[in-house]
Amino acid sequence: MGGPLTIPTRPSRSSAQSPRRTAHRHTARPLLHLFLLTAALVLGLTLFPASAAATLADTVDAALRSAGIGRAATGVYIWDLDAASPIYELNPGAPLVPASNLKLVTSAAAVFAWGFDHQFGTELYAPEAPPTADGTLVGDLHLLGLGDPTLSTRDYQKKNLRMTTASFEAFARKLKRDGVRRIEGRVLGDASWFDKLKTVPTWKPGLQLECGPLSALSGNQGLDNGNRVAAPTTHAARLMTQALRKAGIKVRGAPGTAAVPETSRFVGRQYSARLRAVVRHMNKESDNFFAEMIVKGLGKDLYDEGSTAAGTEADREALRLVGADARGCVIQDGSGLSYGNRLTAEGLAVLLGAMRQRDDFADFYGSLAVAGRDGSLHDRMRGTAAAGNARAKTGTLDIASCLSGYVTSANDHLVAFAILMNGGSIDWWRTTRAQDKIVVALAKASLPGAPVLAATPVLRQHSVSAAEPVHGVGGALKPGVQP
């Protein structure tokens, strides 16, 4: 669920809370689907008659054959969440390249750690001396980045993010309200909250073009007219300088970078849109930059290290916390761009089932692209029973074509599915068409078995308390679901 987070007063940097390092591991991690399946059998329910299972399995088999991918390089797990019944599986525990299906794990890790009401912050500092009588600030302005992936100009938000979030213009208006009319100095960016790596070391050459440069202080996702900038922190300082000048505040010097001096005067902190909006954009549009910034933020808040290497541990912990078998899984980034990532179809399906148990499931479900309607599925499954019904995350690399998510059957059973296809020469048209055939077949099916429980009380919902921090003040990973 995640109750509303209160915005704490900004602590001094010397008194900021240290991130808590508790691992939050369970001594026993039973697979959710096995628990529910056992419960169903105890209740004496007939989960899936052999004839119905065979018919649907034949349909799935035929679709998979049409993909042109060998069965050994394909992992599928389909699970009727309402009847607690596995419907189909093929190599469910085989570690395969998930591509952007990894964003589902990154989403879960972020929600477990922060809750959907979480916000990212950016701070503005001015010289210690207040403005003179004529509105002049003598000295430099400093922007301190705390990992907000959304900080941008209002124009960029409207054209690319379609959300209202933290902006450079808002900081400029604040200074103007404070009487500032001239800055005898520069705007300097401080990105020390994260490490200095602007990309992920495991990415193959050329993949960095699929993601803006990473920095704790970034503006417009590190892009200038669609092109990656070489110095994202300076770029953010430049956007701030431009916003000040547009607001009628003269700035004497050129933008640059520097640490915030201890003597600086705190002007204010600006907050991003809520995490539900951030995750929604990330999953629907498959935004790699958002995913990688979230992972670095998790690393900083949970393990006091704003790096990809630290943040991916939060992803791995999320899988363990929901009871997914993480053996053989490899997570090298947050977006799924790395060819070295490995997940299993069963692990993804278990994660999807666990998210369904949360009180805030509607936010997670709503973050996924809708077949035939929007995001990366806007032109798929149109005019079928899955259109406007299936919600899923796509995943595409040269060596992988994947689709994982939910679809509602003809008799209103919610089904979780994970389809991972790998190969040396993927024919994307054939693989996506095969995936769509499977999802449409599930949408048209009348699945046997009454729901085991209308609202399965197997898992307790974690509530985010008002004491839990906004990003940049420390945090702890909480599963939100506990056997």
pLDDT at 99: 99
CB atoms within 10 A of CB 410: 12
pLDDT at 53: 62
Structure tokens at 353: 């089932």
pLDDT at 425: 83
Distance in Å from the first CA to the final CA of the chain: 17
Residue appearing with tokens 């916390």: 321
DSSP-assigned states of every residue in 322-338: TT---TT-B---SSS--
CB neighbour class for 254 (10 Å; exposed up to 12, middle 13-18, buried from 19): exposed
SS3 209: helix
pLDDT at 327: 87
Please state the separation of Cα 346 from the chain's center in Å.
20
Which one-letter amino acid corresponds to residue 392? Answer: A
CB neighbour class for 155 (10 Å; exposed up to 12, middle 13-18, buried from 19): exposed
pLDDT at 451: 72
Report how far apart, in Å, the C-alpha atoms of 96 and of each of 92, 101, 136, 460 are: 10, 11, 59, 31
32-42 and 345-356 helices, crossing angle to 10°: 70
* Rounded-to-integer distance, Cα 212 and Cα 210, Å: 7
Q: Are 308 and 292 in contact (CB under 8 A)?
A: yes
Structure tokens at 186: 């520069």
183: left (phi over 0), alpha (psi -120 to 50) or beta: beta
Residue appearing with tokens 């259109």: 387
Instruction: Kindly give, in sequence order, each residue whose CB lies less than 8 Å from that of residue 291, ignoring residues fewer than 6 positions away.
Output: 102, 103, 106, 282, 333, 334, 335, 336
pLDDT at 39: 41
DSSP-assigned states of every residue in 127-172: -SSPP-TTSEEES-EEEEE---S--B-HHHIIIII-S---BHHHHH
Question: For the chain, which residues score pLDDT lower than 50?
Answer: 1-47, 453-483
Q: Are 169 and 237 in contact (CB under 8 A)?
A: no
CB atoms within 10 A of CB 38: 12
For residue range 436-467, what is the model confidence (pLDDT) as tens digits? 999 999 999 999 877 764 443 333 233 332 23
Sheet containing strand 250-251, edge to edge, reads 136-138, 182-184, 250-251
* Rounded-to-integer distance, Cα 395 and Cα 343, Å: 12
As beta bridge partners, residue 405 has 392, 417
102-114 and 288-303 helices, crossing angle to 10°: 40
CB neighbour class for 136 (10 Å; exposed up to 12, middle 13-18, buried from 19): middle
Radius of gyration of the chain (CA): 24
Q: How many CA atoms lie within 13 A of 52 on its CB side?
A: 14
Q: Which helix (H) or strand (E) holds 438?
A: helix 428-444
pLDDT at 167: 99
Report phi then psi at 167, rounded to 5: -140, 155
As beta bridge partners, residue 416 has 79, 406
pLDDT at 51: 61
* Rounded-to-integer distance, Cα 420 and Cα 343, Å: 9
Instruction: Please tell me what DSSP assigns to residue 299.
Output: H
* Rounded-to-integer distance, Cα 448 and Cα 80, Å: 10
Angle made by CA atoms 382, 383, 385, in degrees to the nearest 5: 100
pTM for this entry: 0.85
Report phi then psi at 401, rounded to 5: -140, 120
Report how far apart, in Å, the C-alpha atoms of 293 and of each of 108, 329, 426, 444 are: 15, 21, 29, 39
388: left (phi over 0), alpha (psi -120 to 50) or beta: left
Which structural domains are found in the chain, ordered by start? 32-115+277-444 (3.40.710.10), 121-273 (3.50.80.20)
For residue range 263-292, what is the model confidence (pLDDT) as tens digits? 999 999 999 999 999 999 999 999 999 999
Q: Are 4 and 322 in contact (CB under 8 A)?
A: no
* Rounded-to-integer distance, Cα 271 and Cα 151, Å: 9
As beta bridge partners, residue 74 has 421
